[in-house]
Amino acid sequence: MSTQADLSRPAGGGHDADEEAVAIARKRASEGKKAEAKLGMMLCAPAALVMVAVMAYPIAYAFWLSLFRADLRTPDQNEFVGLSNYVTVLSSPIWWTAFGVTAFITVVSVILELVLGMLLAIVMHRTIIGRGLVRTSALVPYAIVTVVAAFSWRFAWSQDLGWLAGSSAPLTDRWSSIAIIILAEVWKTVPFMALLLMAGLALVPEDLHKAAAMDGGSAWQRFWMITVPLVMPSILVAVLFRTLDAFRVFDNIFVLTSGANETSSVSMVAYNNLIRGLNLGIGSTMSVLIFITIAIIAVVFTKLFGAAAPGSDEGGRR
Amino acid sequence: MAEIVLDNVVKRYPDGALAVDNFNLEIADGEFIILVGPSGCGKSTTLNMVAGLEDITQGELRIDGQVVNDKAPKDRDIAMVFQSYALYPHMTVGENMGFPLKLAKVDKSTIQKKVHEAAEMLELTQHLDRKPSNLSGGQRQRVAMGRAIVRQPKAFLMDEPLSNLDAKLRVQMRTQVSRIQKTLGTTTLYVTHDQTEAMTLGDRVVVMRGGIVQQIGSPQHLYDHPANLFVAGFIGSPSMNFVPGRLEGDGIVSALGEARLPDRIRQALERGNGSRDVILGVRPEDFEDARINGDKPGGRFSAPIDVVESMGSDLYAYFTLRGDVASSAELDDLAKDTGNDLHTDGTAMTARLDPTARIRQGDNVELWYNTDKLHIFDAESGRNLVGGDSQSAANAGTGR
């Protein structure tokens, strides 16, 4: 003990000279930190400026427009109307129908994508023979431009012409149209889901599967009790991405039905008002509402599920 | 608890590589068996075949008389401890240990009772609610052991369970593993590449090389009667010294000088009818300072001492012998395994001497060696020509 105390004395200070030295050292350290922080800011600045120009400004401008009566057909009647555009939109059955359709498409397609994506991810993860071929071919749908794929689907489901339609005309009926929209969405984004999930699967050590097998777990039990909890962070990220994406569904609906038979999504309605109807005020209001909805989804996901996901907390990962 | 029989077990991979060839072993109920050998010798593959994690290409695996070749791991009722511990990171220590019982649908109160018993045995009681990531390496290792113990399986399989621990903890855990195995009396198959673990833990040790069993026997038997050069060089630390030599008349000529062979060895050599070119094996402790041992029968030679290490109870003297170096495929394998494959001029030798020997670095010292304890191997085949047990030597021979 006494030797330790002896050793610690010179380092611990106690003399004026030492205190001075400590002060100098602190000052130098904080100066160094400041300089580093400044350099960091300068390096980030260009990117931040671009982000402000292409994201912050349009968002702010849309919000600003949403507070005005702004119709390009009657440009001289523009005036500030406060939140009355929001009242108009939120009391409109068109908006709420579209909102319902969008929510339905979002929920159903994300669930289907998660289940099928997980299956595909497991197949891609476990394939031994022709692994490259399997993975490449699985990604083909994702590589095709959405609009092109949507046109193919429209053709396939056209009465008397398409190979899937036969004599029926599914795109002329509301629920069959929605089903086809969901099909097109799911077909296209399952590979994306599978890719994200496969990255998660690759992080589960093989030894854990072996250990669980030795502990008496069947394949099904191993999947639910080992794989799923450990892949949960990946699942949440994938589901969040897809939910945000699916809620903005536009191209498939635009091509397949153009919103006929009440199949419009909120994005379609916003487009129809803003671009087709030239009603900048109402259109911007809808855009802002979509933005807010998506922000709420994102916050709910990260706050509720993010914290509960095993592995996302400090203790979960090794 | 069970007896495990491996009957002519072969593992061949689809690409044709032979991992394990003709493995024969009968493990008695409650026995502690060590599989030891350099990396790539097939010991882990053998263990995985017993576990059911790898298919058996040929032969039979019987547990308690029942052929289990095609049974899934979960139906074999054996527990395994992995080198990486393979703890489930999303479960607490208690949940990890109770997991096999949960899968077996044991009721909660019994699970808790058993987990607490095992935790007490392993001194993990105060850690039961922690996640594995918050534990030290030694604690994780104990959790892995606990998970195996809790379900009272027919057998334990351990795949280098101590390799990820630091040296001090490894020695400590080694004793604990041994104690637990003795207490529970569960049949255990333990894989390691560390010959010290093999020597200290096992009832019997199986030495493997290139997928072939070299020798099976108690640690002391392997030490005293190695079947061939490989076993001789692998078992023992520091390892046996090898010098090429030639049998001439009643004696042997080598870089260790000329020595008369005792009658026992001479008779064994005559029976063996081997060639005259041999490799001499001398354990470090069979050397002594010639001044201490005076006129005891044995060989004598002088060598300049390179390095002297005093360990208190022993004195290690390192010296180099000029002349030919004993060479064989088996010795090359060993050198590769220890990373000691730099070719120096001459043979590096180690002698463990009495601490009273007054030897200093650079001295040219006369050393004595015990001809009674000499091991003589055939230079061609590596077979022990004296006192290696003939049965497993033959076994190893046919495996090729």
Q: Which residue of B has its CA nearest to A222?
A: B103
- Residue-wise pLDDT for A58-87, tens only, equals 999 999 999 988 888 888 888 888 889 999
Distance separating alpha carbons of residues B249 and B276, to the nearest angstrom: 10
Task: With respect to residue B60, please indicate whether it lies within any of the assigned structural domains.
Answer: yes
Task: With respect to residue B105, please indicate whether it lies within any of the assigned structural domains.
Answer: yes
Given a cut of 70, whether residue A94 has pLDDT beyond it is yes
Write down the pLDDT at residue B257. 86
What was the ipTM of the complex prediction? 0.82
Query: Quick one: CA dihedral A57, A58, A61, A67, positive or negative?
Result: negative
Task: With respect to residue B308, please indicate whether it lies within any of the assigned structural domains.
Answer: yes
Contact B131 A315 (CB under 8 A): yes
Average pLDDT of the segment spanning A165-188: 89
- Are B267 and B361 part of one and the same domain? yes
Look-up: residue for tokens 């023979």?
Answer: A129
- Are B206 and B260 part of one and the same domain? no
Contact B79 A214 (CB under 8 A): yes
Write down the pLDDT at residue B397. 36
**Higher per-residue confidence, B174 vs B342:** B174
Task: With respect to residue B294, please indicate whether it lies within any of the assigned structural domains.
Answer: yes
What band does A167 get if pLDDT is binned at 50, 70 and 90? Answer: confident
- Kindly give the residue spans of alpha helices, DSSP state H, lying in B17-128: 43-51, 93-103, 108-121
Contact criterion met (CB below 8 Å) for B144 and B153? no
DSSP-assigned states of every residue in A52-116: IIIIIHHHHHHHHHHTEE-BTTSGGG-EE-TTHHHHHHHT-HHHHHHHHHHHHHHHHHHHHHHHH
Contact B79 A310 (CB under 8 A): no
Write down the pLDDT at residue A10. 47
Distance separating alpha carbons of residues B132 and A208, to the nearest angstrom: 13
Q: Under an 8 Å CB criterion, which residues of B touch A?
A: 51-53, 72-74, 78-80, 82, 84, 86, 88-90, 99-100, 103-104, 130-134, 147, 151, 157
**A226 contacts in chain B (CB < 8 Å):** 88
Query: Domain holding B31: CATH number?
Result: 3.40.50.300
What band does A221 get if pLDDT is binned at 50, 70 and 90? Answer: very high
**Higher per-residue confidence, B131 vs B330:** B131
State which amino acid sits at residue B123.
Answer: E
Task: With respect to residue B399, please indicate whether it lies within any of the assigned structural domains.
Answer: no
Mutation target vs A (from B47, B88, B97, B158; most A CBs, 10 A cutoff): B88
- Are B195 and B343 part of one and the same domain? no
Task: With respect to residue B234, please indicate whether it lies within any of the assigned structural domains.
Answer: no
- Are B189 and B254 part of one and the same domain? no
Average pLDDT of the segment spanning B296-310: 88
Q: Which domain holds residue B244?
A: 240-384
Contact B53 A310 (CB under 8 A): no
- Are B97 and B209 part of one and the same domain? yes
What band does A7 get if pLDDT is binned at 50, 70 and 90? Answer: very low
Tell me the average pLDDT of chain B: 87
- Residue-wise pLDDT for B187-243, tens only, equals 999 999 888 999 999 999 999 999 999 999 999 999 999 999 999 999 988 889 998
- Are B203 and B321 part of one and the same domain? no
Given a cut of 50, whether residue A2 has pLDDT beyond it is no
**Higher per-residue confidence, B391 vs A265:** A265
- Are B247 and B99 part of one and the same domain? no
CA atoms within 13 A on the CB side of B140: 22
The answer, for A131 touching chain B at a CB cutoff of 8 Å, is: no
- Are B204 and B351 part of one and the same domain? no
- Are B157 and B249 part of one and the same domain? no
Closest partner residue to A310 among B90, B100, B151, by Cβ? B90
Write down the pLDDT at residue B81. 94
> pTM of the prediction?
0.78
Closest partner residue to B90 among A207, A217, A229, by Cβ? A229
Contact A211 B53 (CB under 8 A): no
Last residue of a domain, one of B223, B254, B276: B223
Task: With respect to residue B233, please indicate whether it lies within any of the assigned structural domains.
Answer: no
